[in-house]
Amino acid sequence: MISYIEKVLMDPYPIRTAYITLVKKLGLFKYEHRVRIGAVERPHYGYCLFQGCMLAKKLGLSRVSVIEFGVAGGSGLVNLEHHAREISKALSIDIEIYGFDSGEGLPSPLDYRDLPHHWRAGFYKMDIEKLQRHLTKSVLVLGDVSQTVGAFFERFQPAPIACVMVDLDFYSSTVAALKLFSRDNYNHMLPRLFCYFDDVRGSEIQLYSDYTGERLAISEFNTANENIKFSPAYYLLGTKAVAPWYNNIYILHAFDHPQYNQFISEDDQQLILT
């Protein structure tokens, strides 16, 4: 494990890190600024939800949904509720939250693609009653994701999905979850979704690759679907100061979605010669 001193010495942007830490600790400035610079708890959650809601507003929507695949103990859902409250106030938009999980912890890995060298059956079992006491608006969708995904839209009639958080660990579970995003479900989602995949970087233990886990599931999804694709958020990766979690952000593009080509940019982009 890397020590605090090692982290400081390895930080390529120490002044920026100190600024973000100070803003986060003291709660300085408006939420919109804090979430843009990552000065919030789980900045990847806040960022994806904020940007998804910004897009929804530009498309004329007043209500959206966010999904977390892989709830485990529930800290992520509790955090999403915090961000949803802040974003609802800032943007005047209603946000529904849905958390998919078996409640029983990880199943047994099916093969090498589920990384059995790192995961074991039973990891991350949920205390359902305890979590329910901490939630105020989130809806738990309990059961095997391969079963619950199929009936989700009919059962819950959710608002259009604006962003998705995927933390299912396994290749097989992620493949099942991504079946939610098909051409048949375009009326239940925005044309571009901000997505966070938790297990695409890892450490020297996991050694995530393009041939296992969530990375393989993303690749196969892109190969199997002609007009809906996941892409890294290249605009984030191209910034001067790249936060580690930028590498976990993907955008799901539904190219033939009825609203994909709807203009949302600035009306006046004329350049004047001076």
Q: What is the CA radius of gyration of the chain?
A: 19
Read off the pTM.
0.93
Nearest to 53 by CA among 91, 22, 25, 18: 91
Tell me the pLDDT tens digit for each residue of 87-102.
Answer: 999 999 999 999 999 9
Say how far apart CA 124 and CA 73 lie, in whole Å.
Answer: 7
Nearest to 80 by CA among 20, 165, 204, 193: 165
Band (pLDDT 50/70/90 cuts) for residue 11 is confident
Nearest to 45 by CA among 85, 18, 5: 85
Would you say residue 47 has pLDDT above 70?
yes
Residue 31 phi, psi dihedral angles, 5° rounding? -55, -40
Band (pLDDT 50/70/90 cuts) for residue 2 is low
Residue 184 phi, psi dihedral angles, 5° rounding? -65, -20
Residue 178: CB atoms within 10 A of its CB come to 26
State the average pLDDT for the chain: 94
Report the percentage of the chain scoring pLDDT > 70: 97
**Lowest-confidence range among 3-17, 42-56, 103-117, 236-250?**
3-17
Predicted local confidence at residue 271, as pLDDT: 85
Residue 250 phi, psi dihedral angles, 5° rounding? -125, 155
To which H or E segment does residue 223 belong?
A: helix 213-224
Domains of the chain: 12-41 (no CATH), 42-254 (3.40.50.150)
List the structure tokens of 68: 């977390």
Tell me the pLDDT tens digit for each residue of 143-201.
Answer: 999 999 999 999 999 999 999 999 999 999 999 999 999 888 999 999 999 999 999 99
Contact 20, 34 (CB under 8 A): no
Contact 152, 67 (CB under 8 A): no
